[in-house]
């Protein structure tokens, strides 16, 4: 189909542009564009005379159209000339045969917003009225919601499961279930645009006076206030990974604001009028793009992947990896040896050393490391471009720099994302000359607590592994467990809770995967094309072991109301499904059921009539079998607050070793027991 080929062409073009270091890709439509909506590279545009998918017209109209894409990527809702359409993004066809008419001539639609899970859409009109469109059923049902005041802007807050809404200069939350507003804050300026930064628990506002304002999620604290433009800001959007905020104004200007350096990184005119902003982010590839429109016939796609990253983020990731690996018990390591090795001082030293190595590596990418020395009365000036110079105090006077050489140098990361020299050692005829800046102290008490819990979890992990090993060996010797590998791990991670506060979360992972069989024995993992839980003896053994282990080793953490997350991953090899696998409706039909395939959020549509036709569906069904077993065969988690997240993964190769089932139990806030 034409649209499919265009999507492929767009992806290829973007890749070529990135390689050739171009700023953006520019495309022209036949009609003036009012806005955009997208799921990854699926880009739809609402225009004065219709709806477009990339540059292809999907639906023409006599009045300005509106469009919104499902957060699952499976469908798109658009409104043209008062008609409501649901569009299948995979088959490129309209799903609803009978048109649904919105009689809103005197109060036209200005925006469509989704609620984050793809189950409902919300239609906002020019006069501030709000409608809800339910699309889970076969037909779309549209109802008007109760509001005590007009609403001009809305954005979904995933942390609170509420809308952030605005009316002139008032900002508040709106609960679509209770159909009521929650009191917020009144500003001195009218709010022209808003968006939500769920990652950092922030609300971004574009104000009428051209000011960018960032509030905390409770709306009671201003985190950032910066005047970017002399005209109203019509769009604000946070970078999905790093420290940038993008904004556009009524004059068609695009601003890139650097939060660490506290300045405007880039300011340029890109459109004729009011700018709109949308983002594309592929976490697995590390690619980021910005989609812009602005009261003209053009849409532009900017490559933001090459913006300077937040180096502190990189440093923290690498330091955490080393620390987590260090606190694990090594093979055949005794308790005495482990306790001697894993101490607070050793952890502190390791973290500082790792941080130094990572910071040095990042800093050296910016410099040719050609030091220049100059001798002063009581100091040596060290200059390594492009870093600030360092003054090295001399406690023993030098007559000249003859024989003085820089032996080693280290760097530190500053708050504004730049680097400076932190330590240096020089060799000289009079001995070593050393220089160092002050080191920031670690939060000692918090680290002691996390270390104690880490050691406790490491001991539990060792017990779990030993028990599992004994069970596996026994079953294998009896011929009951062939051609599979079972494994278990446990670790502790510091993460943010729903309020943005630090918490320690316990991760316990249990994995079953097939192996490449040398002899003609019968494998105990999932047979090809099978998904039923009871058809994989290895999976049954693993989950039964998981339940027994959790009861024995982890039950103390399962207090009433404790937040628990089950991350279940079903893996398949690359073998295609030639003929649909029969689905007997064991778990009922699935309609836009959210799950992750290859790390990206997707929506599953499957029932008895369709069967299983894709590896993504097969992997998902294996995870749902585990979920069904856990929900119906144990009372262990009856008093905890449970969430199930499903992942499906397809390997790049063929073989039984890629048929896997992984259950990851996350017990949140184990430091708050």
Q: Is there a single domain that holds both residue 68 and residue 118?
A: yes
Residue 154 lies in a domain: yes
| CATH number of the domain encompassing residue 265 | 2.130.10.10
Phi, psi of 622 (to 5 degrees): -65, -35
Q: What 3-state DSSP class applies to 575?
A: coil
Q: Is there a single domain that holds both residue 553 and residue 657?
A: yes
The pLDDT assigned to 441 comes to 31
Residue 644 lies in a domain: yes
Q: What 3-state DSSP class applies to 661?
A: strand
The pLDDT assigned to 470 comes to 64
Q: Is there a single domain that holds both residue 412 and residue 499?
A: no
H helix or E strand, kind and range, residue 15:
helix 2-19
Q: What's the count of helices (H) and strands (E) in the chain, helices before strands?
A: 7, 42
The pLDDT assigned to 22 comes to 41
Domain count, the chain: 5
Terminal alpha carbon distance of the chain: 56
The pLDDT assigned to 476 comes to 54
Q: What 3-state DSSP class applies to 239?
A: coil
Which residues are bridge partners to 313 per DSSP?
A: none
The pairs formed by 232-235 with CB atoms below 8 angstroms and a separation of 24 or more are 232/192, 232/206, 232/207, 232/208, 233/192, 233/193, 233/206, 233/207, 234/192, 234/193, 234/206, 234/274, 234/275, 234/276, 235/193, 235/206, 235/274, 235/275, 235/276, 235/277
Q: Is there a single domain that holds both residue 259 and residue 339?
A: no
Q: What is the DSSP letter of 612?
A: B
Among 120, 145, 170, where does a domain finish? 145
Q: Is there a single domain that holds both residue 400 and residue 484?
A: no
Residue 22 lies in a domain: no
Contacts of residue 501, defined as CB under 8 A and 6 or more positions apart, other chains included, come to: none
276-282 sheet: strands from edge to edge: 24-28, 298-303, 287-293, 276-282
pLDDT digits (tens, 9 = 90+) for 172-183: 999 999 999 998
Torsion of CA 33, 98, 39, 196, to 10 degrees: 80
pTM beyond cutoff 0.95:
no
Residue 286 lies in a domain: no
**Cα angle 659-662-664, degrees, rounded to a multiple of 5:** 170
Residue 148 Rama label (left phi>0; alpha psi -120 to 50; beta): alpha
70 is in which domain, residue-wise? 31-145
The pLDDT assigned to 10 comes to 35
Q: How far is CA 98 from the centre of its chain?
A: 38
Q: Is there a single domain that holds both residue 620 and residue 563?
A: yes
Residue 15 lies in a domain: no
Among 259, 281, 303, where does a domain finish? 281
Residue that has been written with the tokens 């490559």 in this structure: 303
Residue 595 CB burial class (10 angstroms; 0-12, 13-18, ≥19):
buried
Residue 515 lies in a domain: yes
- Could you tell me the CA-to-CA distances from 292 to 25, 591, 596 in Å, in that order? 10, 32, 27
Q: Is there a single domain that holds both residue 261 and residue 239?
A: yes
The pLDDT assigned to 21 comes to 31
Among 301, 330, 365, where does a domain finish? 365
The pLDDT assigned to 14 comes to 35
Both tokens of residue 347?
A: 């952890």
Q: Is there a single domain that holds both residue 85 and residue 162?
A: no
Q: How many CA atoms lie within 13 A of 515 on its CB side?
A: 16
Asked if 572 and 649 count as a contact pair (C-beta separation under 8 A), the reply is: yes
CA distance 221 to 216: 6
Phi, psi of 364 (to 5 degrees): -70, -15
Splitting the chain (673 residues) into consecutive groups of 10 residues, what average pLDDT does each group show?
36 34 77 95 95 94 94 92 89 75 79 87 93 75 91 94 96 96 95 96 98 97 97 98 96 96 90 96 90 96 93 95 93 93 95 94 93 91 96 80 94 96 89 76 46 72 67 55 63 82 82 48 58 78 82 86 92 85 91 93 93 92 91 92 94 81 87 65
Q: Is there a single domain that holds both residue 115 and residue 236?
A: no
Q: Is there a single domain that holds both residue 396 and residue 508?
A: no
Asked if 212 and 224 count as a contact pair (C-beta separation under 8 A), the reply is: yes
Q: Is there a single domain that holds both residue 562 and residue 632?
A: yes
Contacts of residue 535, defined as CB under 8 A and 6 or more positions apart, other chains included, come to: 526, 527
**Three-class DSSP labels, 256-273:** EEECCCCEEEEEEECCCC
Phi, psi of 140 (to 5 degrees): -85, 130
The pLDDT assigned to 105 comes to 67
CA distance 147 to 567: 38
372-375/379-383 β-pairing: antiparallel
Q: What is the DSSP letter of 554?
A: I
The pLDDT assigned to 137 comes to 58
Closest C-alpha among 291, 311, 293, 285 to residue 303: 291
Closest C-alpha among 630, 577, 624 to residue 604: 624
Residue that has been written with the tokens 């009012």 in this structure: 34
Q: What is the DSSP letter of 442?
A: P
Residue that has been written with the tokens 């799950």 in this structure: 595
Residue 255 lies in a domain: yes
Asked if 294 and 246 count as a contact pair (C-beta separation under 8 A), the reply is: no
Residue 412 lies in a domain: yes
Q: Is there a single domain that holds both residue 264 and residue 228?
A: yes
């Amino acid at each position: 189909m034409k649209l499919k080929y265009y999507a492929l062409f767009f992806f290829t073009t973007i890749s070529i542009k990135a390689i050739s270091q171009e700023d953006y890709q520019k495309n022209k439509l036949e009609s003036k564009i009012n806005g955009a909506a997208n799921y990854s590279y699926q880009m739809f545009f609402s225009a004065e005379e219709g709806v477009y998918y990339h540059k292809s017209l999907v639906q023409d109209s006599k009045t300005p159209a509106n469009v919104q894409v499902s957060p699952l990527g499976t469908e798109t809702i658009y409104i043209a000339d008062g008609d409501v359409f649901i569009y299948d993004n995979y088959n490129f066809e309209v799903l609803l045969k009978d048109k649904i008419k919105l009689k809103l001539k005197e109060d036209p639609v200005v925006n469509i917003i989704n609620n984050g899970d793809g189950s409902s859409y919300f239609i906002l009109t020019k006069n501030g009225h709000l409608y809800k469109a339910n699309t889970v059923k076969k037909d779309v049902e549209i109802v008007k919601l109760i509001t005590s005041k007009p609403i001009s802007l809305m954005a979904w807050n995933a942390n609170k499961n509420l809308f952030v809404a605005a009316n002139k200069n008032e900002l508040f939350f709106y609960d679509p279930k209770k159909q009521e507003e929650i009191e917020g804050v009144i500003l001195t300026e009218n709010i022209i645009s808003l968006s939500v930064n769920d990652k950092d628990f922030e609300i971004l506002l574009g104000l009428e006076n051209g000011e960018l304002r960032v509030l905390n999620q409770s709306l009671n604290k201003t985190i950032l206030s910066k005047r970017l433009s002399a005209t109203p800001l019509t769009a604000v959007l946070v970078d999905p990974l790093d420290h940038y905020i993008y904004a556009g104004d009524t004059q068609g200007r695009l601003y890139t604001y650097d939060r660490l350096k506290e300045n405007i990184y880039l300011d340029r005119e890109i459109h004729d009028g009011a700018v709109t902003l949308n983002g594309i982010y592929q976490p697995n590839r590390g690619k980021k793009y910005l989609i812009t429109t602005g009261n003209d016939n053009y849409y532009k796609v900017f490559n933001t992947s090459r913006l300077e990253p937040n180096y502190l983020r990189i440093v923290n990731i690498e330091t955490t990896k080393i620390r987590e690996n260090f606190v694990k018990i090594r093979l055949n390591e005794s308790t005495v040896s482990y306790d001697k090795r894993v101490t607070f001082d050793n952890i502190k030293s390791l973290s500082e050393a790792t941080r130094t190595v990572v910071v040095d590596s990042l800093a050296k990418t910016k410099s040719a490391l050609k030091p220049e020395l100059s001798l002063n009365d009581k100091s040596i000036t060290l200059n390594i471009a492009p870093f600030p110079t360092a003054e090295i105090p001399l406690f023993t006077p030098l007559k000249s720099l003859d024989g003085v050489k820089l032996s080693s140098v280290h760097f530190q990361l500053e708050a504004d994302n730049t680097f400076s020299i932190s330590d240096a050692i020089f060799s000289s005829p009079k001995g070593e000359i050393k220089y160092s800046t002050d080191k920031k102290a670690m939060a000692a008490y918090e680290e002691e607590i996390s270390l104690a819990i880490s050691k406790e979890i490491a001991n539990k992990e060792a017990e779990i592994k030993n028990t599992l090993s004994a069970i596996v060996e026994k079953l294998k010797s009896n011929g009951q467990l062939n051609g599979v590998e079972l494994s278990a791990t446990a670790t502790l991670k510091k993460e943010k809770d729903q309020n943005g506060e630090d918490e320690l979360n316990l991760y316990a992972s249990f994995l079953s995967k097939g192996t490449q069989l040398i002899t003609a024995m019968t494998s105990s993992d999932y047979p090809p094309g099978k998904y039923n839980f009871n058809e994989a003896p290895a999976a049954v053994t693993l989950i039964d072991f998981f339940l027994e282990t959790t009861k024995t080793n982890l039950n103390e953490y399962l207090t009433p109301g404790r937040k628990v997350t089950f991350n279940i991953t079903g893996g398949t090899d690359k073998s295609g499904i030639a003929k649909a696998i029969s689905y007997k409706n064991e778990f009922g039909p699935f309609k836009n059921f959210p799950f992750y395939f290859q790390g990206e959020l997707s929506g599953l549509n499957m029932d008895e009539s369709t069967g299983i036709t894709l590896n993504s569906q097969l992997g998902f069904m294996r995870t749902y079998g585990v979920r069904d077993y856990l929900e119906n065969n144990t009372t262990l988690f009856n008093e905890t607050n449970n969430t199930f997240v499903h992942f499906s993964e397809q390997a790049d190769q063929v073989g039984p070793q890629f048929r896997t089932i992984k259950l990851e139990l996350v017990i949140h806030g184990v430091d708050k027991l």
